[in-house]
Structure 1
């Protein structure tokens, strides 16, 4: 009998996953793709609630091949995923968390999308159940895109279809030294190394389930772990991309999603010692990667807080965070016949503070919501044209390819 390579290896890392595991595995059984085309590799990471026993019961009756591996607790999701990846035989792999579930046509649609377009990563539409889920990238299905010209950089969870040859060629594995953000590191690297990314937006492929008991496979971690995650992602981006617009586009993600929340409402509850420590942890990251091109891509209150962090102005930061926490609206200051709009958050044009006006300058997208603003069409056109020219420079493209090759 000739063994046929499966299309998809579904890798499930499970820790204390009952009773959510029941619906998770049922969603795998309900897949419309031929069961002969998939295999399941489930790794019980030292559970004590019957997770391992239920996986073995499932393996004994399932219509598709199921491999169950039971091991001592590793302390995080990376270990089980890496173990599963090492056993995978499919052309593609899909990482399924044990408390989530698949949409019925998920694997069939994602495999078809990858095969049709020759892409290495496929994102399937995600829907939150008792929790939020990313939304900005599901407007329409896209056969081929990349991380620079889409919003996929804002969904870096591991629950995607990856071409296994891509992962093996670059020896890609999850970083077991990280206890949060390990999936962001893995997925961003896959985006950057991939020969194209596809998006399936017309079918809910993944249900992201919020557990009622508050437990999740991924540990929330302390603020120090969040800075570790941001540092790792920024370092990866810098290693694979030279300085320039492409790097700046991607640096927005760790600054906005990982770093900025540390200087949001929770900052007001921090002790003075923790506040100083956060500033110390942020300092090397802002010195290396914070610049005007990253800053201008953010909204004013986001830019202002990170500017104060980057310049070490802890004395001014609390006022701004309190203003944002209270959901106050900054007054608009229109100049140049309505073509320039500043948002007067705390310390705007306060001489002792010395914060440049440019920090408070609203970009066109943010400014359009204010009555009286008149967009400078000519200026915007010139800026966009200049950015396109910079991106098209042969030297820049050559350097980008050289950077990726060196990192490979």
Structure 2
């Protein structure tokens, strides 16, 4: 078979972090005779070279390993991989990241279907940031003009091999930074078509536990901003002066310069290093970015850019202190099941030091000292409240895969003293059948207001609203909405929960058997009549019978006919499962037996306490013990 995709992986001392990368490549849904993996070992000194050689020996034809002396960065290994590649497309993967199981197949098919030279697959960031707006929807025919492609300049793309050869595109080599920016910027600007695949997470971008990823290392500011100018040169080479060039340049001014000098990110740096960064970037701001570049920034970013250009470092720090205090807060108001979906109503606004941020009702641009800058930013934010928006994202806890949920919202101004609070009142609809995979999904609210786009968890829920709705059985999936401990943020457990579903709360009179028909009122939500499988078991013996969950008020009524003749002589545990290809049984807190009079309910079974209850008990016991110990110490003193 012709090779469809060549995966190029530059490798340098990844240690055990390469294992997730290897495993994901071996799990690909693309048949192994349709792709190849080329590991380019850049002079590793750990056990990785031997590990890769053994893998290549075990997977001949699929895995190839090339060893070379250390070149200092990833550019040369990637170029060596391109030269060895036989595939129609080349996919670049870093040795401490990994792919979704269907990534190669989906990206290849999408690229071929759309005649793409470059395919950008949806990314998830595990401990590190990834573009969000770019992956709001699929873009089969994307350009730097109609999509925020410029937000994604990492090399983790699938690129047509003959396109690379036709334009002679290769990575800059040597010890340098931002080689991927130079490469990807030119690819975007010269490709006939770029396709963005957003409905499947293709690439998992991982921050290592030891934070030793190359991109997280402290860098030489002078060399870094020199390399940044090389990326700007690429844009200048392939665009004309004007709004498009300014918009593309704005990405580097915003991300690589201004955002490094803002809020918590600046304040977290050592004082001497952040001043060194400031001094190195100031010349770039003055010399390379025209007035049209900064003019398109958000007000907060304009303030920082102007302070950098004016060489006012102390004011940059003061403004960062104020910005660091501004955070979003999303307050849940209600959580209900409606027509097979979860309806989540909430409000969102910005707060500062725990209090709602109050904005002036009107404002004008004022001279640029820090207090005036704050006044201008808040006034401009209030004036542009009509552009604000709020989104709800579900983010899977273990993988960091995230998806936007449908949201409707209104904007509300609430008078507060001499100003106004700017509140977004929203209602989101979560369809569990559309959530991609099982797991624990945390709810995040993304607020775009004025010059800020920030995220927070949805919570905490007020104490009187912390009773979540029943777990639901929807289209074969078991969905448990719950408030986390101790922060009371909203999460959804999909097809994982067992002991926290509330089934242990059945009252004795909620279960009955009459004429062999079992009836049980369960605290479960169902949208309509739902077929289930009932399992009764005793030791190694088990009997499965069909049943139905009927919507009954706020819960569900389980009905099933039990075969009395097969249940004699033992006490049987009872469990229920949705009717799926792979049933997952949920224990019910009672047992049954069969005798001369037919089947009867014997007793409720005591269910184990949930982990949340146990944690609360342990904390309570701990508090008692600590208080007693303190009293003893005081008496001795």
- Measure how far apart 1:267 and its partner are: 5.1
Among 187, 190, 200, the residue aligned to 2:187: 190
* Equivalent in the alignment of 1:70: 67
With over 3 angstroms needed to count, the CA separation of the structure-2 counterparts of 1:226 and 1:30, relative to structure 1, is same
Residue 22 in 1 paired to residue 49 in 2?
A: no
Structure whose residues are more often strand by fraction:
2
RMSD, aligned CA: 3.2
Structure 2 unmatched ranges of 5 or more = 327-351, 389-411, 414-419, 423-637
Structure whose residues are more often helix by fraction:
1
Structure 1 segment 3-402 matched on structure 2, within 5 A = 5-62=2-59, 64-177=61-174, 179-218=176-215, 220-224=217-221, 225-264=223-262, 265=264, 275=275, 278-314=277-313, 316-327=315-326, 332-335=359-362, 346-347=369-370, 349=372, 361-362=380-381, 368-369=387-388, 371=413
* Equivalent in the alignment of 1:394: none
Instruction: Give the SS at the match of 1:298.
Output: coil
With over 3 angstroms needed to count, the CA separation of the structure-2 counterparts of 1:73 and 1:324, relative to structure 1, is same
- Measure how far apart 1:88 and its partner are: 1.4
Deviations for 1:186-221, whole angstroms, at most 9, x for unmatched residues? Answer: 111111111111111111111112211222244624
> Which structure would you say has the larger RCO, counting Cα contacts within 8 Å and 6 or more residues apart?
1
Of the structure 1 ranges 260-269 and 165-174, higher mean CA displacement relative to structure 2 is found in: 260-269
With over 3 angstroms needed to count, the CA separation of the structure-2 counterparts of 1:27 and 1:315, relative to structure 1, is closer
CA contact (8 A) 1:122 1:197 kept: yes
CA contact (8 A) 2:42 2:70 kept: yes
Instruction: Give the SS at the match of 2:201.
Output: strand
TM-score if structure 1 supplies the norm length?
Answer: 0.78
Structure 1 unmatched ranges of 5 or more = 375-408
- Measure how far apart 1:184 and its partner are: 1.9
> Using the alignment, how far apart are the partners of 2:296 and 2:385 within structure 1?
10
With over 3 angstroms needed to count, the CA separation of the structure-2 counterparts of 1:359 and 1:179, relative to structure 1, is farther
Q: How many residues align?
A: 362
Q: Which structure has the bigger radius of gyration? A: 2
- Measure how far apart 1:281 and its partner are: 2.9
With over 3 angstroms needed to count, the CA separation of the structure-2 counterparts of 1:344 and 1:34, relative to structure 1, is farther
- Measure how far apart 1:233 and its partner are: 1.9
> Using the alignment, how far apart are the partners of 1:159 and 1:241 within structure 2?
24
CA contact (8 A) 1:40 1:64 kept: no
- Measure how far apart 1:322 and its partner are: 2.7
Instruction: Give the SS at the match of 1:198.
Output: strand
Deviations for 1:95-138, whole angstroms, at most 9, x for unmatched residues? Answer: 11111111111111111111111111111111123433322211
With over 3 angstroms needed to count, the CA separation of the structure-2 counterparts of 1:363 and 1:307, relative to structure 1, is farther
Of the structure 1 ranges 176-185 and 109-118, higher mean CA displacement relative to structure 2 is found in: 176-185
Deviations for 1:58-87, whole angstroms, at most 9, x for unmatched residues? Answer: 111226432211112221111211111121
> Using the alignment, how far apart are the partners of 1:266 and 1:129 within structure 2?
18
CA contact (8 A) 1:76 1:218 kept: no
Instruction: Give the SS at the match of 1:159.
Output: coil
* Equivalent in the alignment of 1:401: none
TM-score if structure 2 supplies the norm length?
Answer: 0.52
